[in-house]
Structure 1
Amino acid sequence: MKATGAEFFGTFWLVLGGCGSAVLAAAFPGVGIGLHGVSLAFGLTVLTMAFAIGHISGCHLNPAVSIGLWAGGRFPAAKLLPYIVAQVLGAVAAGGVLYLIASGKAGFDASAGFASNGYGEHSPGQYSLAAAAVCEVVMTAFFLIIIMGATDSRAPAGFAPIAIGLGLTLIHLISIPVTNTSVNPARSTGVALFAGGWAIGQLWLFWAAPIVGAVIGAKVYAWLASGD
């Protein structure tokens, strides 16, 4: 219960901090943080939570990460469902809090995007479904390679949260223009439910592609690290 509770609150923080920065601060007049600030915000949520709850739950905060770690032999199958449920609930709770905050401004319209992930006309850069799928698979695969490598018993101790947080920052710097960056089905679900319409209609990709990418990345790292 404590581990799943940690996953709930950790994922809550990721969505509130990352998506909150996109919704509330990215384009704020005069001092908007833009793509670079939103990318850093997502990285900081993972970095701070990895130090805060990594010793309690492992700080997955992401169904794709949990599934990838299972595929890589780092996580038991029996814990997958409780972790994924906690992550999704934490993301939805954060989406609800963000909605309450954002709707306090006149003219707010969640259906305009609400930091949701999308492709085609709903991609920030108008990228196709195929481009979005490739981007999400590749980015999530490398995220798992970073996670598994940084937490390997042979890696320098104590630095994993920094590597993982900066890795997620880099992933956002690359892929926000393509999909608004998911690499995390819970993060995508937490805001799509409030945006509704097209965001829910396109949500399937942001479950499927990150999970496929996570399994690929986990298998690649397992191969790289085998026999050492």
Structure 2
Amino acid sequence: MINKIAASVADALADVRDGATVMIGGFGTAGIPDELIAGLIAQGAKDLTVVNNNAGNADVGLAAMLKAGRVRKIICSFPRQADSYVFDELYRSGKIELELVPQGNLAERIRAAGAGIGAFFTPTGYGTELAKGKETREINGKHYVLELPIYGDVALIKAECGDRWGNLTYRKAARNFGPVMAMAAKKTVATVHEIVELGGMNPEHIVTPGIFVHQIVKIDRVATQAGGFKQAVA
């Protein structure tokens, strides 16, 4: 019987190795799998390459992982923002490597990995520092840059609902990079707020099929006094 429900975050992340390339879903603070990030910090894997749209906020989540010294390199499209002081300090002191990728290119490079595309040409970045050292080509009078796929050893994503086969749906903008990262990684771990019985999800509503998901972990939502939500590992 296929059952991809993990007993805990720790169990789901136990085999993440040092030096792994870790894809982390999220856009800004939307769809960040905070519990999985915290679990990976506790697990102890280091010398990681992290793929994310951003480079962390304040000193929580991804920023906490950077602060703990676990990340060697980050591949992202938007590393600097008002509260990215952890990344700023590490980068300025030469303690972290940055590969800056335009957001559309980032999404397409991840998608290409999942789709089995060896490389693709894009006009984005042509004539800039981002194209330095890369193959360029003129196609029908327009200049393009060759970009390579980004593969992950593991993808950490946040979903809304799942079943024991690993089929996933997402909540609004929390969907962002999750689906393409699930396709591009050797192993995908997702948190969900609800686990339903097989057949309980409308097949037309499933965004990430279970074939791309290896383990899911249920995370409870608990209402706070402020009227928002906080999350705790079930």
TM-score (norm. length: structure 1)? 0.27
Higher RCO, 1 vs 2 (CA within 8 Å, ≥6 residues apart): 1
Choose between structure 1 and 2: higher helix proportion. Answer: 1
Which structure would you say has the larger Rg?
A: 2
Q: Which has the higher strand share?
A: 2
